[in-house]
A = this chain, B = another copy of it.
Amino acid sequence: MTITQPDLSVFEAVESEVRSYCRSWPAIFDRAQGSYLYDEDGRTYLDFFAGAGSLNYGHNNPVLKRALIDYLERDGITHALDMSTTAKRAFLETFRDVVLRPRDMDHKVMFPGPTGTNAVESALKLARKVKGRESIVSFTNAFHGMSLGSLAVTGNAFKRAGAGIPLVHGTPMPFDDYLDGRTPDFIWFERLLEDSGSGLNQPAAVIVETVQGEGGINVARAEWLRALADLCRRHDMLLIVDDIQMGCGRTGPFFSFEEAGIVPDIITVSKSIGGYGLPLALTLFRPELDIWEPGEHNGTFRGNNPAFVTAAAALNTYWADGQMEKQTLARGERIERTLRDIVTEHAHAGATFRGRGLVWGLEFQDPARATAVCRRAFELGLLLETSGPQSEVVKFLPPLTITPEELDEGLRIVTRAVRDTD
């Protein structure tokens, strides 16, 4: 495929230098459907990126689209802050009946503002308020957001430097397997907690991703997560699972922590919860933690009612039974097989892979290789992003609704892109 450079002059002239994805994928996208995007020059792109995990149900999913347009046509409330609406009620009922109850969870639902970082900010506020302590433990290579509260528990030094102030009140601990199995799990963290002379400010909470998406597709083992939950219980810290990227079925079950059999005190959800790529976020917490005063945390776009509509439709369509989970795991095995083959073929390049459900990472010894693979894949019509502190990991994040044929098509392109960059 020959690519004619699109005319990006308006973006270059008017938009800030901060823009980034558009630099990796020099195309002007126009339409999208299911697993495909189309640019204005008529080119087609298969999507292994899925809006960084916001499009688990594909682009412009027809079921959700119907619900959304119907709602708009009938002048359903669009914007309502945190007023009660029929759309919100329907969402709450669906979320309770489809997500919470079947999992024996009685978590309260908070609408903290429509983005992931709003959810993380509210989760940290609540944990600090409940425990009366400032300190939060996060993990190496964590990513939790760009506003100052979330950024303080995010690992990436480049993003942190953007804060313009010293980021404090957070302490990083080693994520699962961070030290390559050379030390027992939590040996350092627990010793710090036990020792009143350690110098660690007693944490209000621990915030963790079960699979670190931005941090390099680092997958925590179920037993590690269980040990962490246990550590939190024994040392009076709340456990916050940031399920913004890995929740909504990305790893198979609706919540990514289900496999480990743990129930976090606080859970943040966003990205695909709206179903249609519309901004929506939730903060869930055990009812006994719901000590908020009315309006103590607020925000203008908490009541994004069109997103309630698509969110409820998505839950009803995909999560009323266990079908989606099964399908995701099956699709994931397909990716795993291909990655195993690639790694075998490219053993000389020190290739390794890891993942769960429909999130996978492929790493090469040479960090630049991941970028080269993604660039080549783009030329071949596949959207594929890197991840990790040095962009050293190729990240696979297709829509959960991808068909086997689309998946195979994408994996063929990947295989070829890896070969072409050898």
Contacts and interface: CB of A to CB of B under 8 A. Distances in A.
A152 B135 CA distance: 14
Interface string A168-188: 111110100011001110011
Contacts of A159: 296-298
B18 A156 contact: no
B72 A17 contact: no
A1 interface: no
A304 B307 CA distance: 12
Given A65-B75, A159-B297, A165-B166, 13 more contacts: A17-B291, A21-B81, A21-B82, A69-B69, A114-B301, A115-B115, A117-B118, A148-B148, A153-B199, A156-B197, A197-B388, A278-B304, A279-B304
A268 B398 CA distance: 34
B183 A182 contact: yes
Contact of A52 (B16, B81, B111): B81
Given A86-B28, A89-B28, A158 B293 contact: yes
A92 interface: yes
Contacts of A75: 31-33, 59-60, 65
Contacts of A146: 113, 118, 121-122, 297-299
Contact of A40 (B86, B168, B192, B276): B86
**Which of A25, A149, A158, A244 has most chain B Cβ within 10 Å?**
A149
27 contacts: A11-B92, A15-B111, A17-B291, A17-B293, A20-B294, A21-B81, A21-B82, A30-B85, A40-B86, A69-B73, A113-B117, A114-B115, A115-B115, A115-B279, A115-B300, A122-B146, A128-B165, A129-B162, A135-B166, A140-B191, A140-B199, A147-B148, A153-B199, A164-B204, A165-B169, A166-B201, A278-B304
A283 B276 CA distance: 25
A95 B14 contact: yes
Interface in A110-157: 110-111, 113-118, 121-122, 124-125, 127-129, 134-135, 138-142, 145-150, 152-157
B14 A109 contact: yes
A292 B141 contact: no
A315 to B, nearest CB: 14
A229 to B, nearest CB: 21
Contacts of A348: none
A196 B216 CA distance: 12
A271 interface: yes
A24 B262 CA distance: 38
A169 B168 contact: yes
B172 A125 contact: no
Given A73-B69, A75-B59, A172-B198, A20 B295 contact: yes
Contacts of A147: 117-118, 121, 147-150
A361 interface: no
Given A92-B10, A142-B199, A300-B271, A22 B82 contact: yes
Contacts of A26: 84
A337 to B, nearest CB: 29
A113 B110 contact: no
A54 interface: yes
Interface in A71-94: 72-86, 88-89, 92-93
